[in-house]
Amino acid sequence: MDACQQVGQRLRHLRRVRGYTQEHLAERAEISPKYLSSIERGAENPTLNLLSRLAQGLQVDLYELFQEEPDAGQSARLRRKLRGLVAEIRVEELPRLVRVLEALVH
């Protein structure tokens, strides 16, 4: 998947999470819904200015359009790997691991 497709998928995800239709976001970004659809499919290479307008329309920071979301399969694999690693830790190291994980969560 190329960068345009990744940004398009992220844009679509953020739009759907906010409950926006393509028409609503397109209006907020002052573009046509058809053009927004092309961007979401990765068929268009939007300018930085346009990406900024889309981010504003979504009420997110611009960098959020470039963040990758782990897919459900990846998340499940990482959780299984984490459980396996925890099972291998020496008992005396468990309190330190708990402190590290708590720091990451909070």
Of residues 75 and 54, the one with the higher pLDDT is 54
Helices assigned H by DSSP within the chain: 3-17, 22-29, 33-41, 48-58, 72-88, 94-105
User: CATH number, domain at 30?
Assistant: 1.10.260.40
Residue 1's pLDDT band (boundaries 50, 70, 90)? confident
Same domain, 37 and 13: yes
Same domain, 77 and 62: no
Q: Report the pLDDT value the prediction gives residue 10, as an integer from 0 to 100.
A: 93
- 8-65 pLDDT, tens per residue? 999 999 999 999 999 999 999 999 999 999 999 999 999 999 999 999 999 999 999 9
Same domain, 38 and 85: no
Same domain, 44 and 86: no
Of residues 11 and 75, the one with the higher pLDDT is 11
pTM over 0.85: no
